[in-house]
Amino acid sequence: MSNEDASVTSAIDTVRSDVPKHIAIIMDGNGRWAKARGLPRASGHERGVEALRRTVEGAADIGIRYLTVYSFSTENWRRPVSEVNALFGLLKLFIQKDLSRLKREGVKIRVIGRREGLPKDISELVDKAEFETAENDTFFLNIAFNYGGREEITRAVKRLAADVGSGVHTSSDVTEDLVASYLDTAGMPDP
Ligand code: FPP
């Protein structure tokens, strides 16, 4: 092994002993990637999903345990219907094609964001992916789909307020930790 190879290896070892627990990635730039190559935007999204597959593998390989990908935001509904449908189709295809492998590899899938408003077939598939991987604990893949930060907080506050109303908590129990336990990311380290 040359000196150069040795220094690369030791750099990787250093990273491995000190990797973040949780990485979050915004799936952005698909359209620009496609445009720069004279391809339709849909091709950019397809390649984005391939990049996601490689990212899950790579993250798990270097010891990261939690990966959150922000894919479809609540604002993305403003895109042309054809693009929205293509994005739904890609999520569907990803779950259909990859679920059994991810399940076998110990990946726990959680889809965070607003479930209401998603087409029935997508929400059933998402439920299935979560149900079938619920017992896994090797790697945690969170897919933010129909996700908005304020929307998540609003849902959390509604549920918390209902629990205060029904006496599960009192208003003086409300701390940052209690609020965090109502978020979609409850129980996970911060990205
Ligand atoms: C940003 O690219 C990407 C999105 C808005 C959608 C990403 C979502 C998917 C590819 C489908 C989800 C599927 C899975 C498996 C999670 P952009 O169009 O905003 O790119 P631009 O900023 O270059 O225009």
Same domain flag for 127 and 173: no
Position 3 scores a pLDDT of 43
pTM across the whole model? 0.88
Taking the C-alpha atoms of residue 63 and residue 109, their distance in angstroms, rounded to an integer, is: 17
Same domain flag for 62 and 100: yes
Taking the C-alpha atoms of residue 126 and residue 29, their distance in angstroms, rounded to an integer, is: 25
Same domain flag for 15 and 47: yes
Same domain flag for 97 and 181: no
55 lines ligand 1 (CB under 6 A): no
Position 151 scores a pLDDT of 96
The closest residue, in CA terms, to atom 13 on ligand 1 is: 91
Taking the C-alpha atoms of residue 137 and residue 12, their distance in angstroms, rounded to an integer, is: 24
For the chain, what is the domain count?
A: 2
**Tens place of pLDDT for every residue, the chain, 191 residues?**
444 445 554 555 555 668 999 999 999 999 999 999 999 999 999 999 999 999 999 999 999 999 999 999 999 999 999 999 999 999 999 999 999 999 999 999 999 999 999 999 999 999 999 999 999 999 999 999 999 999 999 999 999 999 999 999 999 999 999 999 999 999 999 99
- Ligand 1: nearest atom to the Cα of 69: 16
Residue whose C-alpha is closest to residue 69's, from 1, 12, 139: 139
91 lines ligand 1 (CB under 6 A): yes
Residue of 68, 71, 90, 101 to mutate, ligand 1, most atoms within 8 A of C-beta: 71
Same domain flag for 27 and 51: yes
Position 13 scores a pLDDT of 53
Position 17 scores a pLDDT of 67
56 lines ligand 1 (CB under 6 A): no
125 lines ligand 1 (CB under 6 A): no
Residue 164's domain comprises 149-191
Same domain flag for 139 and 153: no
